[in-house]
Structure 1
Amino acid sequence: MKKILLILVICLPLLLTACGSSRPTTAIKVNVTDFAYNPNEFIVPAGQEITVEITNNGAVVHNFIIMKAGASIGKDFDEEDAANEYWKVEIMPGQSTTASFTAPSAPGEHLIVCSTPGHYIAGMTGRLVVVSE
């Protein structure tokens, strides 16, 4: 019995820490490489102001575009797709920037993309999940 209790005491904090990453946040930190966002999924509360701190560790200009809910993108990002942007920020190579936006008021999923030519098709995407509080 003491062994079980000891195991629970040791494991419970680890489990709780692991579960904490799926909670909504109003502060996002993103590292950008040449073809990826890290992390690439973000859970935010509906209607709240969200602060995004992005560092571009890549060699070219990148952007972090949150698409409107339900928007789909063709083979590569083009002008038609740009009409469905919800929010966008551009980051120069080797630079960091901080910007804010108000999360959509309705819960749902939003695609995140980079519109630098060839990056969307290469898989530079992410997901913003808006949840009600």
Structure 2
Amino acid sequence: MKYTNGMAALLLAALAAGAQAHGNAGHAARHHAPVAKEQKPWGIAGAASAVRRTIDIAMTDTMRFTPERIEVREGETVRLRVQNNGQVLHELVIGTRADLDAHAEMMARHPGMEHDEPHMTHVNAGASGEIVWNFNRPGEFDFACLIPGHYQAGMVGKIKVIARKESKR
């Protein structure tokens, strides 16, 4: 998504009015409001009632995820439960490498920008967050922490979505 200067100014004004930049307050509020389901190349927001598996992912201040590679089956809805074991804010954002590169560049230009989409979670130090996602497209995708400096330090991971045909072997 591209943001114009006017949109960025409006977003920053909303932050000044009381929103917490990259905080869990916005993340928690999202789960009480209907989630916008927009098809992405890597899938679509999932329904919590469809989750059959939870994958735990830890984030640390060494700028790493554990595990840094996960596999899911095409059509599977999973809960990615993310624990920040560090002392600073981290996030997990799912996307293609090109989408993550573009988003990281935007974050570098506007480091305090609030953004909250179903394919991302922002997690304060010592806290946890989650993403419920339906991986309805096969392929290899990425996840990353796009806090300025974290992505550049290698805080990235891979998601392999195994095609239905492959998973029946």
TM-score (norm 2): 0.54
Q: List alignment gaps of at least 5 residues for structure 1.
A: 1-24
Unaligned runs of 5+ in 2: 1-51, 108-116, 165-169
Decide whether aligned partners of structure 1 residues 72 and 95 sit closer, same or farther in structure 2, where only a CA change above 3 A counts. closer
What is the total number of aligned residue pairs between the two structures?
104
Give RMSD over aligned pairs.
2.7
Flag the structure with higher helix content: 2
**2:123 paired with 1:102:** no
8 Å Cα contact 1:31-1:38 kept in structure 2: yes
Question: How much does 1:47 deviate?
Answer: 2.0
User: Which stretches of structure 1, 4 residues or longer, exceed 6 Å deviation after superposition?
Assistant: none
Query: Retained in 2: the 8 A contact 1:70–1:110?
Result: no
Say yes or no: does 1:112 pair with 2:143: yes
Task: Pick the structure with greater CA Rg.
Answer: 1
Identity %: 27
Whether 2:79 is the aligned partner of 1:51: answer yes
Deviations 1:88-121 (A, max 9, x none): 1111110122331111x22101111101110111
Post-superposition offset of 1:52: 1.1
Alignment CA distance shift 1:45-1:51 (3 Å): same
Whose strand proportion is higher, 1 or 2? 1
Q: Aligned equivalents of 1:94 and 1:65: distance in 2? A: 18
Alignment pair present for 1:28 and 2:60: no
TM score, norm. by length of structure 1: 0.67
Aligned ranges 1:83-98 → 2 under 5 Å: 87-98=119-130
- The superposition leaves residues 22-80 of structure 1 with CA deviations (integer Å, 9 ceiling, x where unpaired) of xxx83211111010101100101112211111110111111111113764626x81229
